[in-house]
Homo-oligomer: A and B are copies of this chain.
Amino acid sequence: MTRLGVGMIGYAFMGRAHSHAWRNVARVFDTPLDPEMACICGRSAEAVAAAASKLGWASHETDWRRVIERDDVDMIDVSTPGDTHAEIAIAALRAGKHVLCEKPLANTLAEAEAMTAAAADHPSQLATVGFNYRRIPAVELARRLIADGRLGVIRHVRAVYLQDWIVDPEFPLVWRLQKDLAGSGALGDIGAHIVDLSQHVLGDRIASVCGMTETFITQRPLPDGSTRGEVTVDDAAILLARFAGGAVATFEASRFATGRKNALRIEINGSLGSLAFDLERLNDLELYESGDSTSGFRRVLMTEADHP
């Protein structure tokens, strides 16, 4: 196996999740590359040193520019808030590194286009976005079934991503609720997943869209508790869409769906059958195929050896 030196920028929620993946991927799957957790980077020297020790990184840095200069680093894993994605990713590409960038890709369309252009300028380097849910076995099986024509012509997509972690009006104004840092709210954070996932699973692209966003709580306490600040992102977004292939779709992303913790749900109806998936039950794929009087949605338990 070829060694792949990884440098990860960021060490919070996503940093822990990515560390777990880098640590185990070559131990569990038969991968052509052998990732080495070379360097982790964060602004606080003390905190990043602790994270390196805890998560199993060989070294740590406080300036991401130092990481992309290192010879032992082949790939940059960008796990920071969205406002720094473009700068880091473009610099990494120019430094000859592969890039894995967390979603949402960028906070503005201009940034995203600059990143896409940079990737196009370095075609021999990987430039990927962290839409990790594509790799869930149930999602991959869904994609294959549709690609194989098992559902026939796709007519409907209905997708929601529902969470409830900011229902409380006293929940503080964290970075994810600030447009200059996060770019958008539910739309980019979780809506991006259902838009990406439905396009990926259908093998089709959204052709037109119509939607609205809503901010239910417009003022929240600052994290230091001193006073209240303005919420500058959406709490929820709902969309109607039409795919190029003719399917019509509804999308909803919300952080105000009380009781729903991580409810990414997609249902797809085709002329011959239907599929339904819910991330809160990620080992199940619900599959319907038209047939006789014993047809019904069946729960395919995605834990068998022959599953993707």
Contacts and interface: CB of A to CB of B under 8 A. Distances in A.
Interface of A: 19-20, 23-24, 27-28, 54-56, 141, 145, 151, 155-156, 158, 160, 162, 164, 167, 210-212, 214, 216, 236, 238-240, 242, 246, 248-250, 252, 254, 256-262, 269-274, 280-281, 283-285, 287-288, 290, 293-301, 303-304, 306-307
Which 4 interchain pairs have the tightest Cβ spacing? Answer: A298-B298, A259-B288, A296-B298, A296-B300
Contacts of A156: 236, 252, 254, 256-257
Given A254-B156, A269-B259, A294 B240 contact: no
Contacts of A272: 258
Contacts of A28: 20
A176 to B, nearest CB: 16
B300 A299 contact: no
A258 B153 CA distance: 11
Nearest to A303: B261
Contacts of A285: 296
Say how many copies of this protein the assembly contains.
Answer: 4
B240 A260 contact: no
B262 A303 contact: yes
B274 A257 contact: yes
Contacts of A283: 280-281
A271 B156 CA distance: 30
